[in-house]
Amino acid sequence: MKGKRAGGIGSPVAPSAIDEIMQAKFAALGIANEFDLVLHLPQRYEDETHLYPIADILPSDKVVQVEGTIIQSEVMYRPRRQLVCQVEDGTGVLVIRFFNFYGSQVKAYSIGKRVRLLGAVRQGFFGAEMVHPKCHMVSTNTPLPDALTPIYRATAGLSQETIRKQIRQALARSDQTDSLKEVLPVGVLKRHQLLDFRESVTFLHQPTADASVDSLQEGTHPAWSRVKFDELLAQQLSLRSHYQKRRSRCAPELPEKNLLTITLLKLLSFDLTRAQKKVLSEISSDLARPYPMQRLLQGDVGSGKTVVAALAAFQAIKNGYQVAIMAPTEILAEQHYRKLSSWFTPLGIKIAWLSGSQKKQQRQDALAIISDGGAMLAIGTHALFQDQVEFNKLGLAIIDEQHRFGVEQRLALHTKAAKTGLVPHQLMMSATPIPRTLAMSYYADLDVSVIDELPPGRTQVVTKLFEETRRDEVITRVRESCHAGRQAYWVCPLIEESDTLQLKTALETYESLMLTFLDLKIGLVHGRLPLQEKSAVMERFKQGEIQLLVATTVIEVGVDVPNASLMVIEHAERMGLSQLHQLRGRVGRGAEASVCILLYQNPLSENARKRLRIIFESTDGFEIARQDLSMRGPGQFLSARQSGVPMLRFADPEKDADLLAAARIAAEEILRDDSVSAQRHLLRWLGNKSQYLQA
């Protein structure tokens, strides 16, 4: 790192001021250069600028500072070893208590010493007390700080004082460098009433004594708004610039062939909904353009995304181009294969099937007809983007449950069109709705279509909560439902015993239910079954030969059995909202009233109780997704996509929706009118990470 300009974007942390060991510790915090360092903003603040009279403080969670003289100090041994002191300031007496202390502290906290204490006050046996307060030895004339004390995220071997010192030095150096220089156009700053960037960052590290601690802690202070705006703007600039660059690439033009589409529609046993027609029109228009489509198709469980994808595939095929459909699980991929075969085979379209568990000869045969163009449609799992797979003329890639695939995997599928020299169109589908603010933020590089209604005939699923103690009632309901000619799922979260989670397993449950339901035909399916066995069990269930299917969450997506009208989910308290909603969507696909029973065990954690209440009260996937986001945060909600998209460190798309909206407008304006400012801003915030959206 030697030889780089001090204070520049790529400069090491405090050059020549710290050794390699210390640099490694900073690196553990994600700090590699001076800009990272000055953007290592405080997690919270301590107010050491004010003193409170002991007589005025009341027990509460609020942190306060007092100063006084130690009038009593002793080590006590009941109920455990502890150092207990009494501090008096002329207005009252406060007890301070230390359970972990050194011998040197006993000597330091001797009678007559003057101390300044910072902490929360609680009601103790002898009155007001602080437990393990922050403590400084002072004299009667020791001045108070003139700024709030920043508290930073730290790591072992890196103290708060070391971090503060390095940040102070970096801020001082920034005055002589351009690391914090303003890079945004004046018009943008004025229009959005933004503070100066350098002033904002400096203030957050060194807030004045009169600053509102609450607005700083909550991230609503104007200085925080500036930093959040800049971060959101960098994200929007990167996403939108890639969106524009994609339009400069060449893709095959695949215009709609209306008569042929009507031919396929006639084979279907149903009419498209208004919403399906709308999104199909959007996709069809994209496919006809000479630049690659990159569209996300969202729709709740059972909204009919598959038929829209099939019609898009048909449009590409009738223009002479191959289509790849990739799904995350073999069960879902095979479901697509069976369904699309029933629609496409009568039209003379050959389909290839690829999965990781295929026998060698089957795989070689599939690879051959994909490579020579004999198969115009290839359906499979991640096996589709392996090196051996070569397409003859790939024009469209369709990725189902796209959030389960990383950017690299989607990129790998893109490269399969190398023979044509064109970039294939891409349609991504998700039954996990993306809340609007998250779509505006992390999916701004995509066009988004939403199927916002269910096909007619879909019944509303009634959700019921049963504690484990009512298991017998659940068993009775299952027996009655199956005897009435309907079918049921019994879902378990694990395959084999886990000492840590103590959950029921699919194997255990299967054996138990076989003994319980001697009069029912019961099947078992889980992720470790060979594909042929899985397929055979699922086919028997679809044909009604199996009445009760015991399964792990491999049936979460893609399984469509209209006669199944009852689902029991074991240990529902252990599952996430999205997974529960997806599983529940496996029933309610026929004309019969359907029920989903969530079987849970007490005691419930607060989060588990909240999840069960949300899934019980709502069947709206978008509302469930919004609640899920608020509980988990964007990082966990976005799942695999975060492997390719830098997560926001400061801004929250939901809480900072107004800043996000402003950043979107500003990004369009800057890209249009001031490309130099756009590049400077991207370099500052993303460095070389701004190329992550090739997929």
Closest CA to 286 of 398, 206, 185, 209: 398
d(CA 455, CA 435) in angstroms, rounded, equals 22
- Token pair 């609680």 is found at 122
Residues 666/214, Cβ–Cβ less than 8 Å:
no
Mind listing the pLDDT tens digit for each residue in 234-283? 999 988 888 888 888 899 999 987 766 677 777 777 788 899 999 999 99
Residues 300 and 384 in one domain: yes
d(CA 586, CA 487) in angstroms, rounded, equals 12
What pLDDT was estimated at residue 534?
84
Report, as ranges of residue numbers, the positions in the chain whose pLDDT lies below 50: 1-12, 14-16, 640-643, 690-695
What pLDDT was estimated at residue 457?
67
What pLDDT was estimated at residue 497?
59
Residues 483 and 440 in one domain: no
Residues 331 and 387 in one domain: yes
d(CA 26, CA 32) in angstroms, rounded, equals 7
What pLDDT was estimated at residue 9?
44
Partners of 461 in beta bridges: 594
Tell whether 635 is covered by a domain.
Answer: no
What pLDDT was estimated at residue 610?
95
Closest CA to 13 of 145, 159, 168: 168
Closest CA to 570 of 587, 583, 588, 589: 583
Cis preceding-peptide flag for 653 (omega within 30 of 0): no
Residues 434 and 489 in one domain: no
What pLDDT was estimated at residue 686?
83
What pLDDT was estimated at residue 645?
56
What pLDDT was estimated at residue 636?
65
Residues 552/506, Cβ–Cβ less than 8 Å:
yes
Instruction: Give the CA radius of gyration of the chain.
Output: 31
Residues 478 and 377 in one domain: no
Residues 470 and 431 in one domain: no
User: Model-level pTM?
Assistant: 0.77
Tell whether 192 is covered by a domain.
Answer: no
What pLDDT was estimated at residue 642?
45
Residues 530 and 595 in one domain: yes
For 398-425, b/e burial (b = at least 16 CB within 10 A) is: bbbbbbbbbbebbebbbebbeebebbbb
What pLDDT was estimated at residue 694?
44
Determine the structural domain holding residue 482 and report its residue range.
461-618
Query: Three-state SS across 136-187?
Result: EECCCCCCCCCECEEECCCECCECHHHHHHHHHHHHHHHCCCCCCCCCCCHH
- Token pair 């069947």 is found at 619
User: Encoding tokens for residue 406?
Assistant: 């990383």
- Angstrom CA distances, 318 to 59, 163, 258, 285, stand at 75, 63, 10, 15
Tell whether 231 is covered by a domain.
Answer: no
d(CA 635, CA 647) in angstroms, rounded, equals 7
What pLDDT was estimated at residue 446?
85
Q: How many domains does the chain have?
A: 3
What pLDDT was estimated at residue 638?
65
What pLDDT was estimated at residue 3?
36
Residues 390 and 444 in one domain: yes
